[in-house]
Structure 1
Amino acid sequence: KSIYRNEKINLSNDRFEWIDTLFGLPEAVMYTTLVDWSDRQTGTVAYDKLFGDIRTAIDEAHRDDTLKSVIKADLASFIVKDPLLGESLHKFRSSGKKLFLLTNSLYDYTAQVMSYLLDGERKAYPSWRNYFDIVIVGGAKPAFFNELRPFVQIDPANGEPITNGEIKHLSRDKVYQGGNVVAFEQMTGIKGEQVIYIGDHIYGDILRLRKQHMWRTAMVLQELEREISVSDRLEAQIKDLELLDRRHRNLESEIDFQTLRVKKIARILDDPATTPPLRARLEEERKAMRTTIETLRQRANLMDAEVDSLDQRIDRAYNTHWGSCLREGNENSRFGEQVNDYADLYTSRVSNFGPYSPLRYFRAPRRPMPHEI
């Protein structure tokens, strides 16, 4: 506490690495495992270089298809299939919405994953491509949102580019690679708040897009279902924590009030014009107030310890290491702040939109400022 309350922590410093996307988790696990192993060995270890080597290795596994080849060989072991996804996409299409797929993955991997998720789910859609009006692979997000890379048509049979000049129209029966948001809006005539973009990467999908463009965004946060489940299970304890916190604030207010009264009495006692009888009575009153203040402070300290203990138990119920991914004590976590600031909506899966009318306009609840509470 002495460090974090007295020193400004620069989170952009090279000493810090973010673990706020699913890509960061394997890096963190490998790093902590190798640090534990290295600490048991002789010699010195350059821990910053160790992390850099891990990141380089993971990046290479992505580039050379090492990782994706393992996933493609056994999709069911790595990808959770949502049985309501096809129905939800069909509902959007039936209401006149146009759907597009934008992914950083290249076509061969995209086709296998999407086939696993959607092929055969509905008779009207023999292939996953039938659900989408536009398919864009190799989008290189976030570059798709802040650079002007050209669209390239590719051959679905082999993933190779088809050389036919500049792309001037995005067709339903073709597959494209690369591209950029400006050209996408120009060719489709759809822009700004007419688009809701659903993604699961806070930087690549949500933050960069919202900072530079007016598309609406929806963040898919798979941890949300567990967060809600834990919150429901601990509802009574969370309410107890809120009650304790409120009582603790009331105690602090009472301590402040009594302290002000003691100071006011002290000023009267310092006045030479104060009569002896009044001085004696005020001395007794000040002594009683000081006893009251000490009692209140002891109660506040006990309550503070009880609040900390309950808060830690609740945090560990979400995750034994870092608690809720969306909250930190009474405030939002940094990740929670990013979701709150840049995602117009957030949900655990696309099919959660299914029960709502496709014409539904979602409005944020009114959030009071502290002075309004």
Structure 2
Amino acid sequence: MRRCYTIPRCMRASSYDLEREFGALMGDVAREIEVSRRRRVFCNRNLRMDQIELIGFDMDYTLALYHQPRLEQLSIDLTLQKMIANRGYPEEVRALHYDPHLAIRGLVVDRKLGNIFKMDRHCHVGRVYHGKRRLSKAERIEHYRNQRIRLHLPRYVWIDTLFALPEAAMYMTLVDHFDATGRQVDYDQLFQDIRDSIDEAHRDDTLKSIIKRDVGAYIEDDPKLAETLHKLRSAGKRLFVLTNSLYDYTDAVMSYLLDGKRHAYPSWRNYFDYIITGGMKPRFFAERVPFEEVDLATGEVIAGRPVTRLLRGHAYCGGNIYDFEDMTGVRGERVLYVGDHIYGDILRLKKAHVWRTAMVVQELDAEIEVSERLDQQLKDLELLDRRRRNLNAEIDYESAYLKSLTRLSEECAAAGRDELRRRVDEARAHSRVMLDKLRARLRMIVEEVDALEESIDRAYNPHWGAVFREGNENSRFGEQVSDYADLYTSRVSNFLYYSPLRYFRAPRQKMPHEV
């Protein structure tokens, strides 16, 4: 099929390398089977890119991917500094080791008991830690299986962004430390102090001012991002930025990522038709906050100037989806929004509106790498699971058979049928032997499954296993990605490997009775 592209007016410059541009535009689009799994865009719900007119992007953890360990250490250092200086925590907590592997996305903090747990898609609590100690099955059942967990209550906090991982890692470490030293601590207040301190570091610009001074130390330079955005524009798509970050920080990060990367785009602003900072998502999708224009020179809001239309080359603050659709003239399923926050970018948008959604899950790179490396072990685990199910079925049958023989033997004794009873008892003895053998085989397989599951889990994360799985089920986070993100991938530049007119098709899903 012939591909047609429109070259934007901003690209029609004599200095532009037209030969190179033509080669890039007319180059063959890779087929999905040729795209490595780590670079693929995965589809939960069919989406036709040829029907998408407007594509929006969040910035943090979407267009801009952070060097996560470095950013987490900075967040922890600043949080501890404020906890010690402003909330009376002892200096000793600064010297503790805060292991980044203690937290992944999709965990839930129980502020009342000082626990952190992971749930599957049915909201079943799979594993729980108090500090760094994993709770036993009996403790888990006692705390979380006798009543429904209502996650909307203030007692629980959902760790659903990469920005929130330091909170969970610090909470586990400090709970463990204070318990070990015998210091009385209010677990609820401890978490509140951690959250307030890290929020303060964001709010007073302490964190972002450090990042702005050395953006390259904290932000990944994706060499394919500019080419990806250019390819989408060349296919006639309009692009916009919608981020909660304010303009000064957005300008610093986006300048680092895009300025000077292509001749046709002198500034990062040239890639986008609309720029919205300080968007206050998810309020942007629910309330009618007015748009305000931003002074590009100062980064400050221009007071007293009502915004009645969105102009290319300008930047805005606040706003709402209703006015945005009115001013752009594009509505509903003609808009694709790409973000990283399962709640603020994806879930709230999807529940209230019909924009299409794509989620950037930065951890997907590492998860796929582990899955590929453990491919044979994962296949072995699946085979052992099938054998376990078959053995359970055989044991159930043999147990029912033995019960029937036992009842028949009692009836023979009551009726005085000694010869028949002798034959029934021989069959009972044989059935018991068979049942013992089946149970022994099952114990061996269960031990093998448990050991293999533990080994596989530790390869993903030594405490929590895979982000998208909990036991045999999708994790709650994984299920939300499946339910609310039409597409998901590890980075925006993965769209470069697909036609801008691509028809993304979701795989056929089977119910258990269809397998």
Answer whether TM exceeds 0.5 for this pair.
Answer: yes
Instruction: Look up the match of 2:456.
Output: 314
Instruction: Look up the match of 1:110.
Output: 250
Query: In the superposition, relative to structure 1, how do residues 271 and 38 fare at CA in structure 2: closer, same or farther (>3 Å)?
Result: closer
Is 1:10 paired with 2:149? yes
Instruction: Look up the match of 2:102.
Output: none
Instruction: Look up the match of 2:211.
Output: 71
Matches within 5 A, 1:1-373: 1-2=137-138, 4-5=140-141, 6-12=145-151, 13-39=153-179, 41=181, 43-163=183-303, 165-272=305-412, 275-373=417-515
Q: 2: CA distance between counterparts of 1:33 and 1:265?
A: 58
Q: For CA contacts below 8 A with separation 6 or more, give which structure has more relative contact order.
A: 2
Query: In the superposition, relative to structure 1, how do residues 41 and 265 fare at CA in structure 2: closer, same or farther (>3 Å)?
Result: closer
Q: 2: CA distance between counterparts of 1:37 and 1:210?
A: 41
Query: In the superposition, relative to structure 1, how do residues 299 and 271 fare at CA in structure 2: closer, same or farther (>3 Å)?
Result: same
Query: Deviation digits for residues 169-188 of structure 1, max 9, x if unmatched?
Result: 11112111000011111111
In the TM superposition, structure 1's runs of 4+ consecutive aligned residues that sit over 6 Å from their partners are none
Q: 1: CA distance between counterparts of 2:150 and 2:440?
A: 37
Shifted more, 208-217 versus 44-53: the winner is: 44-53
Q: 2: CA distance between counterparts of 1:314 and 1:274?
A: 59
Q: 2: CA distance between counterparts of 1:130 and 1:342?
A: 31
| Corresponding residue SS for 2:292 | strand
Contact 1:268–1:274, Cα closer than 8 Å, also in 2:
no
| Corresponding residue SS for 1:124 | coil
Q: Offset of 1:29 from its aligned partner?
A: 2.1
Shifted more, 182-191 versus 24-33: the winner is: 24-33
Structure 2 unmatched ranges of 5 or more: 1-136
Q: 1: CA distance between counterparts of 2:183 and 2:439?
A: 51
Q: 2: CA distance between counterparts of 1:225 and 1:90?
A: 24
Query: Deviation digits for residues 96-147 of structure 1, max 9, x if unmatched?
Result: 0000000001000000000000111111111000000000000001110111
Q: 2: CA distance between counterparts of 1:274 and 1:100?
A: 89
Query: Deviation digits for residues 228-262 of structure 1, max 9, x if unmatched?
Result: 00000000111111111110111001111112222
Calculate the aligned-residue CA RMSD, in Å.
Answer: 1.6
Contact 1:18–1:24, Cα closer than 8 Å, also in 2:
no
Task: Determine what percentage of the aligned residue pairs are the same residue.
Answer: 60
| Corresponding residue SS for 2:348 | helix
Q: 1: CA distance between counterparts of 2:269 and 2:180?
A: 52
| Corresponding residue SS for 1:105 | coil
Q: Offset of 1:165 from its aligned partner?
A: 4.1
Query: In the superposition, relative to structure 1, how do residues 40 and 305 fare at CA in structure 2: closer, same or farther (>3 Å)?
Result: closer
Shifted more, 172-181 versus 31-40: the winner is: 31-40
Q: Offset of 1:38 from its aligned partner?
A: 2.9
Q: Offset of 1:43 from its aligned partner?
A: 4.2
Q: 1: CA distance between counterparts of 2:416 and 2:472?
A: 47
- Give the letter aligned to residue 60 of structure 1: E
Contact 2:278–2:317, Cα closer than 8 Å, also in 1:
yes
| Corresponding residue SS for 1:72 | helix
Q: Offset of 1:40 from its aligned partner?
A: 5.0
| Corresponding residue SS for 2:276 | strand
Q: Offset of 1:41 from its aligned partner?
A: 4.5
Q: 2: CA distance between counterparts of 1:49 and 1:79?
A: 33
Contact 2:255–2:268, Cα closer than 8 Å, also in 1:
yes
Shifted more, 74-83 versus 4-13: the winner is: 4-13
Q: Offset of 1:161 from its aligned partner?
A: 2.2
Query: Deviation digits for residues 20-72 of structure 1, max 9, x if unmatched?
Result: 31122111122233334434546422221111011011111111100000111
Contact 1:218–1:343, Cα closer than 8 Å, also in 2:
yes
TM-score by length of 1: 0.96
Q: 2: CA distance between counterparts of 1:192 and 1:284?
A: 73
Q: 1: CA distance between counterparts of 2:405 and 2:183?
A: 66
Structure 1 unmatched ranges of 5 or more: none
Query: Deviation digits for residues 191-223 of structure 1, max 9, x if unmatched?
Result: 111111000111111111111111111110010
Q: Offset of 1:11 from its aligned partner?
A: 4.7
Q: 1: CA distance between counterparts of 2:431 and 2:207?
A: 69
- Give the letter aligned to residue 241 of structure 1: L
- Give the letter aligned to residue 253 of structure 1: A
Contact 2:233–2:239, Cα closer than 8 Å, also in 1:
yes
| Corresponding residue SS for 2:298 | coil
Shifted more, 27-36 versus 276-285: the winner is: 27-36
In the alignment of these two chains, the number of paired residues is 373
- Give the letter aligned to residue 188 of structure 2: D
